[in-house]
Amino acid sequence: MDLLMGFLFIVIIASAIAAVELKDLLAAALALGACGFFIGVVFFLMMAPDLAIVQFVVETLTLFVLVIAITRTHRRSARSEPVRIRAVLGVIVICIFLLFSFFVIPLMTEFGSPDQRVSQHYIDRGIEETGSENLVTSVLLDYRAYDTLGEIIVLFVSVLAVSLILREKPKGGG
């Protein structure tokens, strides 16, 4: 289990580096899709089958949309090299971030033994109170339905924004 997860993390990070560094945009999109699919496998190993299904399906659709968009912009590869000042700046920011996180990680709870004060109620009484055997669905649509309401409002508004942006003939100055 640990060995398998370590191997999966190595593959995920390798495909992430490939997605960043590849010149061909389509190949980089495929590497990004591989990263997402392996993260779905990790979700499955972490006992979250709902998340694994959603991650697989959404990743497929993301890959589809990315390929359509890249072929519509008629430019397959990123030809420009990064400016050196920007690269140095990026490395400095990442070093600060990593330093901060290495101080924070020992303060967090150990992996595999979380603090379940709220969720213990859901686990103990969730099936009787909501009638849903799948506790994730009971949290999603009963205990925290307000979050789902906010989420579908975000979906609604984002589709509205996409429809405004992708109009064929923009009116006015544009």
Partner 1 sequence: MSLPYLASLALFSIGLYCILVKRDLFKVIYGICLMEFSINLFLVSLGFVTGGEVPISPTGTIVVDPLPQAMVLTAIVIEFATTVFLISVAIRLFKQYEDTDISKMRRLRG
Partner 2 sequence: MSLIMRTVSRVLIPFIFVYAIWLILTGHTSPGGAFAGGVTVSLAIALSYVSFGVPLTKERFRYSTVHVGRILGMLGFLVIGATAMVLGKGFLGNFLPKIGGHFTMAGVIIVLSLCIGILVGCEFSLLLYYLFGGEEG
Q: Angle 49-72/25-45 helices, nearest 10 degrees?
A: 170
Q: 42 contacts which partner out of partner 1, partner 2, none, CB within 5 to 8 A by kind?
A: partner 1
Q: Which residues contact 79 (CB under 8 A, 6 or more apart)?
A: 23
Scanning residues 132 to 151, which ones bind partner 2 (CB under 8 A)?
132-134, 136-138, 140-142, 145-146, 148-149
Which range binds partner 2 by CB under 8 A, 17-25, 30-38, 90-98, 152-160?
Answer: 152-160
Scanning residues 100 to 129, which ones bind partner 2 (CB under 8 A)?
127-129
Q: Are 140 and 148 in contact (CB under 8 A)?
A: yes
Shortest distance, position 121 Cβ to partner 2, whole Å: 15
Q: 114 contacts which partner out of partner 1, partner 2, none, CB within 5 to 8 A by kind?
A: partner 1
Considering CB under 8 A, how many residues would be counted as binding partner 2?
41
Length of the chain measured in residues = 174
Q: 3-class DSSP state for residue 24?
A: strand
Scanning residues 5 to 64, which ones bind partner 2 (CB under 8 A)?
49-50, 52-54, 57-58, 60-61, 64
Q: Angle 2-21/25-45 helices, nearest 10 degrees?
A: 160
Shortest distance, position 65 Cβ to partner 2, whole Å: 6
Nearest to 150 by CA among 7, 52, 158: 158
Question: What are the angstrom distances between the C-alpha of 112 and each of 9, 47, 59, 168?
Answer: 17, 12, 27, 51
DSSP 77: B
What residues line the site for partner 2 (CB under 8 A)? 49-50, 52-54, 57-58, 60-61, 64-65, 68-69, 127-134, 136-138, 140-142, 145-146, 148-149, 152, 155-156, 159, 162-163, 166-169
